[in-house]
Structure 1
Amino acid sequence: MGRLIYLIGASGVGKDSLLNEARKVRPDWLVAHRYITRDSGTAERCVTLSEAEFARRQAMGMFCLHWRAHGLCYGVGTEVEDWCRRGAHVLLNGSRRALPQAWERFGAALLPVVVTASTTVLRERLEQRGRETPEQIADRLARHLDIEEELTREYPELARIDNGGTLQQSLEALAKIIDGTDAGCDKSL
């Protein structure tokens, strides 16, 4: 009965803010944390691991999904599969690079959702979080447009949420997407 709701989109579109709001107002959804080889920012909840710790856990099969991006390692613990098997809807800040791996691992239990926002909103958010220089922000905005084009071209069938308004509006849109699905968790997990 459970699904893995796999949120993808460019950095800064508000995936972590959406997940944090879901934690507050939707206790019926579980929000998975990621394991990352860097300290988390204030908006993101993750478990920080060293490169060696990450490699050891990966070698032990403790991640159901893992990928590299921006010189960092990201992983999702196998507990997510158990939560899904138990009927929970699990939300995850995923990666478009790992989407084929997620489909292979979760099958019909996977529900990818593209989270987007306008370039203007994205610029404001990147500036507010203060992690990037103006040049890095310009690069991220260019990459955002490339990502949007790539996702539209390669995955036109994916559900989309415009996260440029309020978090409440985005959560309502996400709830409609989730409630519109009735496929059960893939028993092969």
Structure 2
Amino acid sequence: MSVIVAERSPSPAGLIGPGAVIAVAGPSGAGKDSVMKAARERLDPALPASFIRRIITRPADGDAEDHDSVDAETFRRMSADGAFAIQWEAHGLLYGLPASMDKFVASGGVAVANVSRGVIPQLRRRYAHVVPVVVTASVPVLAERLMRRGRESAEAVGARLRRAVAQDLQIAGAETIVNDGSLEDAAEQFAALILRVCEDVRAERFAIP
């Protein structure tokens, strides 16, 4: 989506703004991809928000998010060339958010990005306004979804669930969406949150760091 937003004064402390980053985290099986996709379909395309397409060292398939797939060697070369605003490694895979996200946020746009929990402090050191969102579900629901997905053994699924319970994805200032019920309900909550952040950016209501 191409959005033109009037330029504003630089953000404080050298952080990128005045736009915002909505950083979406959550345990495997919570349905982050489904909630994000359904919310996106509910939004006006003219809204100054963009769902960031990730670059991942994982082949694309119909059951996963829509992403750009590259091998590890290509990813590292792209990294050396400055192709990523943010990058991280998780579960043996490399993930990157494109450098173009910086310019979009600097223009006043709201970037919506699917990230790992541990990346949020990195985002906060780069962008003036970061809104963390945790998409989660109850342990029985997570377990059922992970087993149905069939990507991992029962032991690996159990390990994921233990990590989810132990960490509980505690993130300071995070909004929480519990995706236990209908996808429509969770998507409506997330779409409303995106609209609110867009309005906060437009009205310059974010607190000065």
Whether TM exceeds 0.5 here: the answer is: yes
Q: Distance in 2 between matches of 1:3 and 1:58?
A: 23
Corresponding position of 2:14: none
Q: Distance in 2 between matches of 1:57 and 1:127?
A: 35
Flag the structure with larger Rg: 2
Q: Is the 8 A contact 2:39 2:191 kept in 1?
A: no
One of 79, 87, 106 as aligned partner of 2:127: 106
Over the aligned positions, Cα root-mean-square deviation in angstroms equals 2.1
Corresponding position of 2:95: 74
One of 107, 116, 133 as aligned partner of 2:136: 116
Letter in 2 for 1:172: E
Q: Return closer, same or farther for 1:21/1:180 CA change in 2, 3 Å cut-off.
A: closer
Corresponding position of 2:105: 84
Aligned length: 181
Q: Distance in 1 between matches of 2:23 and 2:79?
A: 20
Structure 2 residue matching 1:106: 3-state secondary structure:
coil
1:32 aligns with 2:48: no
One of 149, 155, 158 as aligned partner of 1:135: 155
* Structure 2 residues not aligned, in runs of 5+: 1-17
Letter in 1 for 2:186: S
Q: Is the 8 A contact 1:9 1:147 kept in 2?
A: no
Tell me the CA shift for residue 32 of structure 1.
Answer: 1.1
Give 1 or 2: higher helix fraction: 1
* Structure 1 residues not aligned, in runs of 5+: none
Tell me the CA shift for residue 156 of structure 1.
Answer: 4.2
1:164 aligns with 2:180: yes
Tell me the CA shift for residue 60 of structure 1.
Answer: 1.1
Corresponding position of 1:47: 68
Letter in 2 for 1:169: D
Tell me the CA shift for residue 94 of structure 1.
Answer: 0.7
Deviations 1:108-128 (A, max 9, x none): 2x2111111111111121122
Q: Distance in 1 between matches of 2:158 and 2:22?
A: 29
Structure 2 residue matching 1:68: 3-state secondary structure:
strand
Q: Is the 8 A contact 1:23 1:30 kept in 2?
A: no
Q: Distance in 2 between matches of 1:20 and 1:178?
A: 13
Q: Is the 8 A contact 1:37 1:50 kept in 2?
A: yes
Q: Is the 8 A contact 1:7 1:91 kept in 2?
A: yes
Q: Distance in 2 between matches of 1:169 and 1:89?
A: 22
